[in-house]
């Protein structure tokens, strides 16, 4: 049994300008100890997908259908206080912007200590002791535990965020753009830390990112998302060396390569208006291979080889 299985999840946002179909029938699964990269442009619904797994969606979001099965339990059916026992302890989350995800009026150590106290009924002293240990394990000296967030740099705060996410040894960590708000050098440190985490704690990680290259040396598998749907799923090798979907091919071509003289490729067109998404295959207005059927009907995800799925009419015999 896989650790987490998402079945046909559909999430919409109610906005003043109409309904936005943020996640439109997404299914996938994650095995224990596996790292999955979830790649898509901003607005593709990847962050919404991450938040719906923990049922942390904003009030104007509605889950229309689907299941999020963690260890055999559908999280979407759980009550708030049952979910609370899972959040942080079983599944935790690392957010994009470390400048805004720490409570400005709380010492950084307390972010970790309070979680320990609530989940394990630990006393204050012990919770703080462990909090300091966890901070040290992500490279923050124990004495900085008494700092307030504003006294730390962005990279240090992201380390604190990671510490809060691993303190309870969760089995699944959802990392939503954990490096995009940071400098390039700090980005590498954070990625190293995540790799270390995967090896040490045997935790599964969902790495949500807009940058396909970030997933290259950490992910086992990659999911390509576009306009609320999954277009391609495969191992890193599949996606990097045998990309099938025209969108994935475009994404790969638009990664800058060292030493390359050719001009950087840009996928033509612009991301779809999600209040009124294109019919059929969501990518067809930007696709160089679009045909009649692409505008009428959405292609199903079909297997092209073992562990490699693509949703594109190019690969479906009709």
Partner 1 sequence: MLMTDVLRHVWPKRRGIEHYMLLMGIVIVICLTIMALLAPIIAPYDPIKTYVGKPYTPPCTEHLFGTDRMGRDVFSRILWGARSALAVASLAVVIAAAIGIPLGLLSGYIGGPIDRILSLIMDSIYAFPSLIMALAVAAALNPGGATSITSAMINTSLAISVVYIPSYFRVVRATVLSVRENLYVKAAQALGADVLTILTKYVAPNSLAPAIPIISMNFADAILTASGLSFLGVGLPPYFPDWGVDLATGWRDLPNGAWWMSFFPGLMIFLATLAFMMIGDALNELLNPRRGMK
Partner 2 sequence: MAGLREYIIVRLILTPAMVLILLTVVFLILRVLPGDPVRASVGPKVPEEYVQKIRHELGLDKPLYQQYIDYIVGLLHGDFGKSLITRRSFKEELLSRFAASLELALCSMLVAIPLGLSLGYLGATRRGSSLDHISRLLGVASYSIPVFWLGVILQLIFGIWLGIFPVTGGAPPSIKFRVPRITGMVMLDSLLSGDIEAFLITVKHMVLPSLTLGFVISGVINKVTRNAMLEVLSEDYVIAAKARGIPDFRIKIKYGLRNALIPILTIAGLQFALLMGGAVLTESTFSYSGLGTYMRDAVLSRDYTVVQAAVTLYAIIVAFVNLVVDIIYALLDPRIRY
Q: Can you give the binding site for partner 1, defined by CB under 8 A?
A: 14-17
Given CA atoms 270, 276, 282, 287 in this order, what sign does their dihedral have? Answer: negative
- Binding partner selected for residue 14 from partner 1, partner 2, none, CB under the kind-specific 5 to 8 Å limit: partner 1
Could you give the 3-state DSSP secondary structure of residue 313?
helix
Element (H, E) at 206: strand 204-209
Cβ distance to partner 1 smaller for residue 18 or 307: 18
β-sheet bridge partners, residue 70: 4, 73
CB of 269 to partner 1, least distance (A): 25
Give residues with Cβ within 8 angstroms of 305, minimum separation 6.
238
Least distance from partner 1 to the Cβ atom of residue 18, Å:
8
| Cα 213 to Cα 247: distance, rounded to the nearest angstrom | 15
Min CB(13)–partner 1 separation in Å: 12
State how far the Cα of 268 lies from the Cα of 288, in Å rounded to an integer. Answer: 9
Q: Among 12, 8, 25, 23, which Cα is nearest to 74's? A: 8
Nearer to partner 2, 203 or 281 (CB): 203
At residue 76, the 3 state secondary structure works out as helix
Q: 122 touches which of partner 2, partner 1, none (CB within 5 to 8 A by kind)?
A: none
In this complex, which beta carbon is closest to partner 1, that of residue 15 or of residue 103? Answer: 15
* Beta carbon nearer to partner 1, 15 or 153: 15
Task: Work out how close the CB of 14 gets to partner 1 at its nearest, in angstroms, rounded to a whole number.
Answer: 7
For partner 2, the binding residues (CB under 8 A) are: 51, 54, 56, 58-59, 80, 84-89, 92-93, 95, 97, 100-106, 111, 114-115, 118-119, 148, 150-151, 161, 164-165
**Closest CB 20 distance from partner 1, rounded Å:** 13
Task: Choose from partner 1, partner 2, none: what does 257 bind? Cβ within 5-8 Å by kind.
Answer: none
Of 96 and 248, nearer to partner 2 (C-beta) is 96
Give least dist CB 222 to partner 2, A: 24
Long-range CB contacts (within 8 A, 24+) of 110-119: 111/160, 111/164, 112/160, 112/163, 112/164, 112/167, 115/88, 115/164, 115/167, 115/168, 116/167, 116/168, 119/85, 119/88, 119/89, 119/168
Nearer to partner 2, 50 or 299 (CB): 50
| Under 8 Å between Cβ of 160 and 150 | no
């Amino acid at each position: 049994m896989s650790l987490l299985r998402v079945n046909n999840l559909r999430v919409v946002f109610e906005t003043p300008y109409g309904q936005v179909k943020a996640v439109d029938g997404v299914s996938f699964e994650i095995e224990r100890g596996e790292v999955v990269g979830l790649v898509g442009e901003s607005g593709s619904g990847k962050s919404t997908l991450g938040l719906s797994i923990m049922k942390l969606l904003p009030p104007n979001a509605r889950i229309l259908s689907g299941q999020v099965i963690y260890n055999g339990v559908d999280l979407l059916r759980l009550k708030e206080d049952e979910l609370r026992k899972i959040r942080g302890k079983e599944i935790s989350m690392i957010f994009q912007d470390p400048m805004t995800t720490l409570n400005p009026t709380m010492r950084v150590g307390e972010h970790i200590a309070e979680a320990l106290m609530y989940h394990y009924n630990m006393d204050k002293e012990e919770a703080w002791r462990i909090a300091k240990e966890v901070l040290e394990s992500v490279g923050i000296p124990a004495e900085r535990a008494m700092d307030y967030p504003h006294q730390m740099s962005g990279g240090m705060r992201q380390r604190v965020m990671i510490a809060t996410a691993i303190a309870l040894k969760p089995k699944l960590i959802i990392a939503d753009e954990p490096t995009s708000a940071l400098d390039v050098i700090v980005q590498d440190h954070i990625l190293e830390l995540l790799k270390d985490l995967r090896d040490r704690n045997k935790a599964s990680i969902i790495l949500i990112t807009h940058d396909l290259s970030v997933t290259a040396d950490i992910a086992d598998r990659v999911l390509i998302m576009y306009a609320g749907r999954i277009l391609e799923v495969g191992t890193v090798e599949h996606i990097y060396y045998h990309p099938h979907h025209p969108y994935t091919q475009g994404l790969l071509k638009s990664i800058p390569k060292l030493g390359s003289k050719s001009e950087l490729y840009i996928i033509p067109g612009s991301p779809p208006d999600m209040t009124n998404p294109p019919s059929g295959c969501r990518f067809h207005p930007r696709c160089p291979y679009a045909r009649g059927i692409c505008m009428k009907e959405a292609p199903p995800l079909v297997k092209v080889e073992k562990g490699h799925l693509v949703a594109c009419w190019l690969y479906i015999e009709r």
